[in-house]
Amino acid sequence: MSRQPPGKRDDYRWFHAITTRWMDNDVFAHVNNVVYFSYFDTAITYFEMSEKVVGLLDGPVHCVVAEVACRYHASLAFPDRVTVGIRVASIGRSSVRYEIGIFRNDEAAATAEGHFVHVFVERGVQRPVAIPEDARGKLALLMVADRA
């Protein structure tokens, strides 16, 4: 089975820097696989908060994770610097699919890549709602053409 090569930084539209921590390493002396999901969540949440896509703690709408996946290409280890690149692959009525690249130090090729689906829900009842138009516009700025 052939595997798609790692994406490049230029494939992504928005970036967030994260520093690895000593505790991120596991007994094999590399960042444990589950920590990558934390990097995904941190970058997406920071984007949504800083760009005011959705109110994290207030407002009538917030986001919940419906799906997440990761494909690993190489290892990270403390004290690597991590840059998380994000782009939007699709915007539905109530959900957005982010694609994410994890980059080690200043490397151009992704160490890991994945996707993260956020569903916009009504606060309190957790039922899907249409993505607000202002949020839709901000998400569209990160949209990429179909890469299939």
Q: Does the pLDDT value for residue 148 go beyond 70?
A: no
pTM above 0.75, yes or no: yes
What are the tens digits of pLDDT across the range 32-77?
Answer: 999 999 999 999 999 999 999 998 788 899 999 999 999 999 999 9
Q: Is 20 strand, coil or helix?
A: coil
What is the pLDDT at residue 11? Answer: 95
- Confidence label for 146 from pLDDT (cuts 50, 70 and 90): low
Cβ-based neighbour number of residue 142 at 10 Å: 20
Rounded mean pLDDT, 78-88:
97
Share of the chain above pLDDT 70, in %: 97
Task: Please say whether the structural domain 9-140 has been given the CATH code 3.10.129.10.
Answer: yes
Q: DSSP letters of 43-78?
A: HHHHHHHHTTSS-SSSSSEEEEEEEEEEEE-S---T
Q: Does the pLDDT value for residue 145 go beyond 90?
A: no
What is the pLDDT at residue 16? Answer: 98
The CA-based dihedral angle spanning residues 102, 117, 42, 139, taken in that order and rounded to the nearest 10 degrees: 90
Domain definitions of the chain by residue range: 9-140
Rounded mean pLDDT, 102-107:
97
